Structures are given as structure tokens and as C-alpha cells.
């Protein structure tokens, strides 16, 4: 039952807004089950219904705000990301980790490339999607104090022609994040 509720929430997150029949079909749930779960989710503010269509409700926003992926990595990354974004006009920069076979954005500073595809914390990219994004990006790795790779710093620009001079800057940001992590307990940046 709980699985069904989360499948409905994930489908609403993907679709933005949908009717109960469409949600039931997309979630592969019986219509009666989907209708009952949507009623329960609406009752606690997780979804809201208007004119027979559902969307994510304000309570889910509040719950989501409490999620802080890899808090120590995020804290170590944000100052260098801000410096990197300032030094590369218009670049969108982020730190991501591999989670369940996908790239998970942990920290980000918005730039022009986010007008095309916004990569904010919590956003996931499959390997194929990441390959497409990487065609106009540079992504050096971040190392833990133990030497293992824990993340990568990614700077995206609007066109491949802008990539030429940014790789040293992105690599420097990755080195700064690595140095900041060197003094952090590795258990603190587990996700």
C-alpha cells in the first residue's frame, strides 16, 4: 500500500498534474486503489486536487525541504562552487554523486545552462542523460581523505565552444572540495 502511494507521488512529480485514471494507469494500479490512495494523500496534504486533477501538495514540499543529501559534501562544495560560477560567466555548476546507477545532484549554483535543463539538488540523471549533459560540460572528480572518488564537480555551459578554458577552473574547484573533505569524517558524507 505504501509502495503504491509513493508510485503515485513519483508519477505526479514526473507529470506535474494528472487525473486519477491517468495516474492509475501510469502507476499500474487498479483505479479503485489509486483513487483511495489519492484520497488519503490529499487528506494529509501530500497531494491536492483541483477540478478532478491531482498535483503534489504543499506538505511534500515541506518534507522535501528536510532532505539534505550528503550534508558534509554539500557544505564542502558550496563555497568552491560559488567561486567557480563567478569565474565562468553564465556557467551552471554542481557536485554530483553516483547513487543507484544514476547521477544525483548534491549541491548546485544556478547559471544560464539551467534555463535549458535545471540540475538542482535532488535531481537525478541516468547514464544516458548524463552523457548528453556532459557533452557541454567538464567534470573532474572529488576525492575523500582516503583517496577514493566520492563525487564530481560539473560545470555546464550553453555551447561546446565555451568549454576550452574552463577545465582548469573546474579541476581547481574539485581539488578545493577534496581538500575541504580531507578534514571531514567520511561517515558524514555518506548518502
62-121 per-position pLDDT tens digit: 887 776 667 778 888 889 989 988 888 777 888 888 777 778 888 888 887 766 667 778
Which residues pair with residue 96 across a beta bridge? 105, 152
CA geometry: angle 162, 153, 131, nearest 5 deg: 70
CATH class, domain 71-189, is alpha beta
Residue 134: what pLDDT? Answer: 46
- Domain ranges (residues) in the chain: 2-65, 71-189
**pLDDT tops 60 at residue 135:** no
Residue 38: what pLDDT? Answer: 95
Q: Which of 45-54, 92-101, 122-131, 152-161 has the lowest mean pLDDT?
A: 122-131
Domains 2-65 and 71-189 share a fold: no
For 47-64, what is the mean pLDDT?
90
Distance CA 52, CA 29 (A): 18
Q: How confident is the model at residue 173 (pLDDT cuts 50, 70, 90)?
A: confident
Residue 48: what pLDDT? Answer: 95
What is the DSSP annotation of 61-125?
HHHHHT--TTHHHHHHHHHHHHHHHHHSTT-EEEEEEEETTEEEEEEEE--GGGGTS---TT-EE
pLDDT tens per residue across span 176-187: 888 888 776 655
The residue among 149 and 50 whose pLDDT is bigger is 50
Residue 131: what pLDDT? Answer: 45
Fold (CATH) for 2-65 = Arc Repressor Mutant, subunit A (1.10.10)
**pLDDT tops 70 at residue 139:** no
Distance CA 113, CA 35 (A): 39
| Those residues with Cβ within 8 angstroms of residue 121's Cβ, 6 or more apart along the chain or in another chain | 69, 74, 105, 106, 107, 108
What separation in angstroms does the CA of 109 have from each of 118, 145, 180? 10, 25, 18
**pLDDT tops 70 at residue 191:** no
Distance CA 108, CA 121 (A): 6
Residue 56: what pLDDT? Answer: 94
> What's the chain's Rg over C-alpha atoms?
19
pLDDT tens per residue across span 4-51: 999 999 999 888 899 999 999 999 999 999 999 999 999 999 999 999
The pTM (predicted TM-score) of the whole model is 0.61
Amino acid at each position: 500500500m505504501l509502495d503504491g502511494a509513493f508510485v503515485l507521488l513519483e508519477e505526479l512529480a514526473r507529470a506535474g498534474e494528472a487525473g486519477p485514471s491517468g495516474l492509475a494507469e501510469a502507476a499500474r494500479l487498479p483505479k479503485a486503489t489509486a483513487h483511495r490512495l489519492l484520497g488519503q494523500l490529499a487528506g494529509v496534504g501530500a497531494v491536492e486536487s483541483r477540478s478532478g486533477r491531482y498535483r503534489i501538495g504543499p506538505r511534500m514540499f515541506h518534507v522535501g525541504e528536510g532532505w539534505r543529501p550528503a550534508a558534509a559534501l554539500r557544505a564542502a562544495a558550496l563555497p568552491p562552487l560559488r567561486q567557480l560560477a563567478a569565474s565562468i560567466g553564465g556557467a551552471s555548476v554542481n557536485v554530483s554523486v553516483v547513487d543507484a546507477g544514476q547521477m544525483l545532484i548534491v549541491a548546485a549554483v544556478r547559471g544560464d545552462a539551467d534555463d535549458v535543463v535545471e540540475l538542482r539538488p535532488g535531481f537525478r540523471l541516468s547514464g544516458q542523460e548524463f552523457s548528453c549533459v556532459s557533452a557541454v560540460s567538464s567534470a573532474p572528480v572529488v576525492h575523500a581523505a582516503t583517496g577514493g572518488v566520492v563525487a564530481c564537480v560539473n560545470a555546464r555551459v550553453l555551447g561546446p565552444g565555451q568549454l576550452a578554458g574552463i577545465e582548469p577552473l573546474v579541476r581547481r574547484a574539485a581539488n578545493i572540495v577534496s581538500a575541504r573533505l580531507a578534514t571531514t569524517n567520511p561517515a558524514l558524507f555518506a548518502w
